[in-house]
Amino acid sequence: MKRTAIVSMTMLALLVSTAVAADPAAPALGEGKGLVTLTWDQFVKITGYDPAQKGGQVLTIPWAEVKELLGEAAPKLAKGTTVELRWSEFKTLLEWSIKQKKPKDDIPPPTDYIITSSQYAGTLSADGATFTLTLKLNVLRKEGWKRIPVLPSNVALTKVTLTPAKGVFLNSQGGHYELLTNTDGAIEAKLEFSVSVRKSAGINTVTFPRVAAGSSVLDLTIDRENVDVKVAGAQSLTTKTEGKTTKTVAAIPAGVPVGISWERALPKVEPAPAKLYAETRTLVAVADGLLLCHEVINFNILHSPVRELKLAVPKGVSVLTVSGPSLQDWRVDSNGTLAVVLRGEVVGAYSLRVTYETSAAETATIPVLRALGVERERGYVGVVAVANVEIEAGEVTGATKIDARQLPADIVAMTNQPVLLAFRYVGEKFTVPLSIKKHAEVDVLVTIVDTSLYTAMQLSDGRRITKVLYNVRNNRNQFLRLVMPAGAEIWSVAVNGNNVSPAKDESGNVLIPLVRSASRSSELASFPVEIVYVEKPAAPAPARGTLTVKLPTCGMGVPVMHVMYNFYAPAEGTYTLGWGASGFSGPLRLVEEFSTLSTGPGPEAVRRDAAAQVANMQQQVDTRMDARARKLGATPIRVRLPLNGQRFRLEKILALPSDDLYFVVKYRDWKIAE
């Protein structure tokens, strides 16, 4: 016999790794099928195993036996080949082979059973209904008893046929009938049962729940001809008359109970032509040379649906917009017909909204779009003015003049203007002429200064630095025009917190660019305009004398509602006359505290903190003097303003552009500047 020595280290590694990852050890001796039980002496004699070598002995095994252990993975070798393996290798091979040949456990099915078809064949009459449920199902779980619900217990079973008859039983439990079986495979059940019929107002109804899972097919036969049959939740429904009966086939999805109703079918009536009724709501706004109109046409469409609506457009009218539900397109032809095409047919109530305009001179006729092809039309018209015009109605024909309070609420809701004229019409033709008289417009304020706050520092040499803060509301003026005091030099201008560059017109007035006020509610909000300027006298002021202080005035019809002036005079001076009389005179009145006025909405822009105003002005003076000194290459000289000087408050309520704003102060005991 040919013997071949095979080096099996690679095979051994494969077998050992597989054995480690495999299931627990093989079954004990005597278990399973195909096992041979040997005594120890028989095993030693057959295999040549030597216990003294403790597993190190080499065994010679025929290749056919090794191939039997390896199974399909064994290569093909010559007949009579033997394999020499150490005892430990042979043991590993044997254990691996046993585990590979061990039968695998069956995977349990995901469900006990599935229903392959469910059909209800029923015969219905006014006296009762009988059904036959044919249920085909497949039981998947092999072991144990299975419960399969088939019918609710509130129906009356009359006959049951089960296939196969052996091992399948019918039981009633838990409010339903169920099949009991401990077998697997296909099962067919035919269950005949009766259900009561309810009758109300000529309609017969049969209802019962379905407990079997899945969708179902209903095959119904009704003992009357020309019957209208309805099945609740049906995804498809076919009904036809056969002789004296009516056949209906319907498919219902899972989870939907059986609900069948039938009644005598009404004879089909040919559809009648559509009938349309219309009611209009028209608002006419009289503007400069124009009539701006907004009309709502409410249709009531009867009998048959329509997809196109037509309106007659008066001559000279331009249609601007047309809107409505499911509107697809609209157009006006050369004959003055407005055709409105919808995306689909409509029946019942439908509304169109149309805006249009026409020219108007001293006389005009109210234009109203009229519905075409309607049985009857009626409507209401309201007239408002959106310009300075006077409107009167001429001789009205075919319509009735009514009080504005009689107009429908939806017309009044179209505008915030008062309705001046109102009319009602019923019929095909009517005429409402208007007489329009244009009136000249009166100029109104477009810019107003609510408050102006001055803070002035008077030096003993006659120079004066002034900061003025205007609280302005502006609608459309581009500039705030100011007439400045003679010789005044403007140092800075800021509008709404942003620095701007002023300009001068041909008359020498200062033009300060303005912004438009933001709208708050129905009024304009104010914004600040800040100006700092300096006045220098031609000669130094004497120690005793009279000082005239002129204020800037606003031009272009801009009034100032409240003028406030903080005047800081040199501390050493005296500003009273004999017997304590005030040395101040002029249009501005000397006061202890400024009056409090409220002239505009929003937060007050005027800052009343005099100390902060003084500190801000001192900083501007220092910056200005430093810049001039550096330009000349000299050391900056600080000019200290009399922060601790005497403070006087002067004010004027309502300063018109024509008013001359100034005050005169008599003083003495000033220190002459050196």
Name the nearest CA neighbour of 388 among 423, 417, 359, 358: 417
Predicted pLDDT at 73: 58
Over residues 118-146, the mean pLDDT reads 92
Predicted pLDDT at 602: 46
Predicted pLDDT at 347: 93
Predicted pLDDT at 618: 62
- Residue type at 658? S
Give the integer Cα–Cα distance in Å for 652 and 597. Answer: 12
Alpha helices in 504-647 (DSSP H): 610-632
Give the integer Cα–Cα distance in Å for 468 and 523. Answer: 25
Query: Is the pLDDT higher at 92 or at 666?
Result: 666
Q: What integer best gives the mean pLDDT of the chain? A: 84
pLDDT at 579 over 50: yes
Give the integer Cα–Cα distance in Å for 208 and 204. Answer: 14
Give the integer Cα–Cα distance in Å for 666 and 573. Answer: 10
Q: Residue 198: CB partners within 8 Å, gap ≥ 6?
A: 204, 205, 206
Tokens of 134: 């044919």
Predicted pLDDT at 131: 95
* 3-class state of residue 373 by DSSP: coil
Alpha helices in 515-650 (DSSP H): 610-632
Give the integer Cα–Cα distance in Å for 270 and 194. Answer: 40
Rounded to a whole number of angstroms, the distance between the first and last alpha carbons of the chain is 145
Per the listing, tokens 């469409």 go with: 301
Give the integer Cα–Cα distance in Å for 582 and 577. Answer: 6
658 by Cβ neighbours in 10 Å (0-12 / 13-18 / 19+) ranks as exposed
What pLDDT digit, counting tens, does each position of 475-517 carry?
Answer: 888 899 999 999 899 999 999 989 999 999 988 899 999 998 8
Q: Are strands 113-124 and 216-222 parallel, antiparallel or unpaired?
A: parallel
Q: Do the domains 113-264 and 275-438 sit in the same CATH topology, yes or no?
A: yes
> Residues 293, 365: contact at Cβ < 8 Å?
no
What pLDDT digit, counting tens, does each position of 290-320 carry?
Answer: 999 999 999 999 999 999 999 999 999 999 9
Other Cβ atoms less than 10 A from the Cβ of 616: the count is 16
Q: Please report, for the chain, the start and end positions of each structural domain, with discontinuous segments joined by +.
A: 9-100, 113-264, 275-438, 447-667
Cis amide linkage into residue 636, ω under 30° from 0: no
Q: Output b/e per residue, 582-611; b: 16+ Cβ within 10 A.
A: ebbebebebeeebeeeeebbbebbbeeeee
Give the integer Cα–Cα distance in Å for 663 and 438. Answer: 47
Fold for 447-667, please state it. Immunoglobulin-like (2.60.40)
The rounded percent of the chain whose pLDDT value lies above 90 is: 51
Rounded to 10°, the helix 9-21/87-100 angle is 50
Predicted pLDDT at 8: 38
Give the integer Cα–Cα distance in Å for 528 and 432. Answer: 52
Predicted pLDDT at 45: 67
Q: What is the DSSP letter of 304?
A: E
**What is the H or E stretch that residue 16 is in?**
helix 9-21
What pLDDT digit, counting tens, does each position of 159-191 carry?
Answer: 999 998 888 999 998 889 999 999 899 999 999
pLDDT at 3 over 90: no
Q: Residue 280: CB partners within 8 Å, gap ≥ 6?
A: 295, 296, 297, 298, 368, 369, 371, 377, 378, 379, 380
Predicted pLDDT at 445: 73
What pLDDT digit, counting tens, does each position of 387-434 carry?
Answer: 888 888 888 998 999 999 999 999 999 988 899 999 999 988 889 999
**What is the H or E stretch that residue 92 is in?**
helix 87-100
Q: List, in sequence order, every residue forming a beta bridge with 381; answer none if it has no partner.
A: 282, 423
112 by Cβ neighbours in 10 Å (0-12 / 13-18 / 19+) ranks as middle
- List phi, psi (to 5°) of 628: -65, -40
> Residues 116, 136: contact at Cβ < 8 Å?
yes
pTM given for the model: 0.51
Q: List, in sequence order, every residue forming a beta bridge with 455; answer none if it has no partner.
A: 467, 566
Query: Distances in Å between the alpha carbon of 306 and those of 204, 335, 453?
Result: 36, 22, 72
Q: Residue 639: CB partners within 8 Å, gap ≥ 6?
A: 459, 621, 622, 625
pLDDT at 586 over 50: yes
DSSP 227-270: EEEEETT-SEEEEEEETTEEEEEEEE-TTPPEEEEEEEPPPP-P
Over residues 570-595, the mean pLDDT reads 88
Strand order of the sheet with strand 176-181? 146-152, 176-181, 168-173
What pLDDT digit, counting tens, does each position of 27-66 carry?
Answer: 454 444 555 666 777 666 666 666 666 666 777 778 777 7
Tokens of 75: 């290569």
Predicted pLDDT at 152: 94
Fold for 113-264, please state it. Immunoglobulin-like (2.60.40)
Structural class in CATH, domain 275-438: mainly beta
Name the nearest CA neighbour of 250 among 235, 240, 261, 228: 235
Over residues 642-667, the mean pLDDT reads 88
Query: Distances in Å between the alpha carbon of 139 and those of 118, 120, 230?
Result: 15, 21, 34
Query: Distances in Å between the alpha carbon of 639 and those of 184, 210, 431, 461, 626?
Result: 114, 104, 82, 12, 10
**What is the H or E stretch that residue 11 is in?**
helix 9-21
